[in-house]
Amino acid sequence: MDFRLLNTPIDGLSKTACDALLIVVSGEPAEQRLDAPLAALLADALACDDIVAKAGRTLYLHRPAGVKAARLVFTMAADGSAKAFKAAAMAGLAQIKPLGVKHLAVAAAGAELDATHAEALVCAVSDAIYAYRHTKPSAPAAPPLAKVSLLCEKASAKALQTGLARGQGIAAGVTLARECGNRPANHCTPTFLAAEAKRLGKAHGFKIEVLDRKDCEKLGMGAFLCVAQGSYEPPKFIVLRYDGAAKGEAPVVLVGKGITFDTGGISIKPSGEMDEMKFDMGGAASVLGAFRALGELKPKVNVVGLIPSCDNMPSGRAVKPGDVVTSMSGQTIEVLNTDAEGRLILCDALTYAERFKPRAVVDIATLTGACVIALGHHRTGLFTADDALAETLLAAGSAGLDPAWRMPLDDEYEEALKSNFADMGNVGGRPGGSITAAMFLKKFTGKYRWAHLDIAGTAWKSGAAKGSTGRPVALLTHFVLSQAS
């Protein structure tokens, strides 16, 4: 997709040559400064109630009088923010997507555009044209849209160009994460994720290492391997390295949960909607997506990605409730529930992260249904005892329109993890389940700054729109960019 800026004053939009002109409208009519043909068309439509000044409303006009574009779409925004701009653009794109539009021009009336608007537009377009096709030959052909021009005043061009470039990097990462997440579990295996990491490494110059079962045994990763032992698929522990800064500069480490299918193991899940457990590698997908964005944006920062990946399956060899395993840290864990497997594979990855002497470690995981109950599907759960790190991650989520919400980590929650037979159990009771899961992970992070993102409610959608969202690639990318020299 070719995204570019087109220097066009707001009072000259009707003269823009394109297949379709999409105008995002916000504010009062006097603030919109549209030229005469467009102002008249909008005023007439409002007077006739063909469109109302309410967020999400759109109006399509074909070959409107006095407008050079063959197609015109007005779309209403709640306000002038990037978030409202993106939502309005998505509504307008839904009108344009089925048409034979090759060149789309987009403008804002009543709002001052900045880099965040430009980034939001790229991500909106990428989301609108995405369709999963890998195992669905009958999927509709890709829309012909090949060029998107953002119409702007010359004074704002530099900032907008920065936003377009950042948006393209993030959109590429989100698309990769969605592609990995949407593949069925018989396609997206731990071996597949390792191959994707190697492909990324070859394309962008990342250093890639893939540890197999024997390597993990030598390292003492008893928690990770106990989850993997019930599956036919061999486990893979994937290490990615992006070296964008000086060799001695401490890296940011991203740790992604890579359970490519989660039956729950011996503590088996109900059969209803179990197919969606192919999305349980959403954390791993987001790490791959973030590295895809890094390959495009090339910030001056060192980043390590760690992906422990395996299936969680019931079999004669599977870990059982009541088994005690020894983690890489040396701490023992009573496996009270084999469906609390994500924290078992993550804890060994968090211990492995120590060798990089990181400036900060962020783990990303579809970890608990309890987080969905707490926050629904809009905000990712953020857990950390580090106030400064929390603020940086929350700001990154806001900047990327990929929001998170900070949850508590009071010491009292740790009481639920006590065990009579090991240093800890892998679950507490149902109350505060997402918090006790984070408290479990916290026990393996004493040597560095750490945060945990629970994306169980945000990594995928159910129902008619079922599919991976690619979140939180935008949050992670903005966070890494904020750490650049």
- Catalytic residue numbers? 269, 343
Terminus-to-terminus CA distance in the chain, angstroms?
Answer: 30
Query: 37: part of which helix (H) or strand (E)?
Result: helix 36-47
In 384-449, DSSP assigns E strands to 404-406, 424-425
Helices (H), 212-324: 213-219, 222-228, 282-297
Fill in the DSSP letter of residue 336: S
Buried b (16+ CB within 10 A) or exposed e, 80-114: bbbbbbbbbbbbbbebbeebebebbbbbbbbbebe
Query: 325: part of which helix (H) or strand (E)?
Result: strand 324-326
Listing from the earlier edge strand, what are the strands of the sheet with 332-334? 324-326, 332-334, 424-425
Any idea how long the chain is? 485
CA-based radius of gyration for the chain: 24
Q: What span, in angstroms and rounded, lies between the C-alpha atoms of 131 and 179? A: 9
Q: What span, in angstroms and rounded, lies between the C-alpha atoms of 237 and 478? A: 25
**Cα dihedral sign for 368, 373, 375, 378?**
positive
CB 123 within 8 A of CB 401: yes
CB 363 within 8 A of CB 393: no
Per DSSP bridges, beta strands 404-406 and 252-256 are unpaired
Half-sphere exposure of 335 (CA within 13 A, CB side): 27
Q: What DSSP string describes 69-134? A: SSEEEEEE-SSSSHHHHHHHHHHHHHHHTTS--SEEEEEEESS---HHHHHHHHHHHHHHH----T
* Main-chain dihedrals φ then ψ at residue 321, nearest 5 degrees: -60, 130
**49 residue type, one letter:** D
Q: What span, in angstroms and rounded, lies between the C-alpha atoms of 72 and 53? A: 17
DSSP count for the chain of H helices, then E strands: 14, 20
List the structure tokens of 83.
Answer: 């978030």
Fill in the DSSP letter of residue 378: T
- Residue 141 burial (10 A CB sphere; 0-12, 13-18, 19+): exposed
List the structure tokens of 211.
Answer: 């540890």
